[in-house]
Structure 1
Amino acid sequence: MSNTHACSQSESPEVIQTSLAAAMTLGLKGGIFYRDAKLTCLNLLLTYQEGCQGRCAYCGLEQKRSEKTKGTTFIRVAWPTYSFDLILERTKQYQNSLQRICLSMITHKRAMEDSLNLIARLHREVNLPISILCAPTLIHKTEDLHKLKEAGADQLGVSIDTATAEIFEKYRGKGVRGPHRWEHYWEILSKGVAVFGQGQVSAHLIVGLGESEREMVMAFQRIHDLGAVAHLFSFYPEPGSALAEKAAPSLGQYRRMQLARFLIMNDMASAEIMGFNSFEQVYDFGINVEPFVASGQPFRTSGCPGKDGETACNRPYGNERPGIILANYPFAPNRQDVEQIRGELYAGLMEGVEQFEFEG
Structure 2
Amino acid sequence: MKKATWILTLLLVSLIGTDSSARREVLSQEQKELLKKVQRVLVETVAITDEGTIDPGPLDEVVTRRLRDIGYTVVTDPAQPHDVVFRVKCEQRKVWEGTSASGGDADLPDSPSRVWKGPACQLTYLLDGKKMGWYKEVRTDFQDAIQAAGQAKAGDPGIYAMAKLKERLEQYYFPALVTADWGQQERLLKVLDDPTTAPARKAKIISQLGEIFAAEAAPRLVVSLKDPDIEIAKASAIALGNIGKKESIPALLDALKTGKPDLQATAAKGLGLLGALHSDFSIIPPLLEALNTDDLTVKTEVVWALGKLPDKRAYEPLRALQQSLYTHSGTDPDPKVKKLKEAVNYSLKQIDTWEYIQ
Please confirm whether the aligned pair reaches a TM-score higher than 0.5, indicating the same fold. no
Indicate the structure (1 or 2) with the bigger Cα radius of gyration.
Answer: 2
Which structure: greater helix fraction? 2
**TM-score bracket, shorter-length normalisation:** 0.3 to 0.5
TM-score by length of 1: 0.32
TM-score by length of 2: 0.33
Higher RCO (CA 8 Å, separation ≥ 6 residues): 1
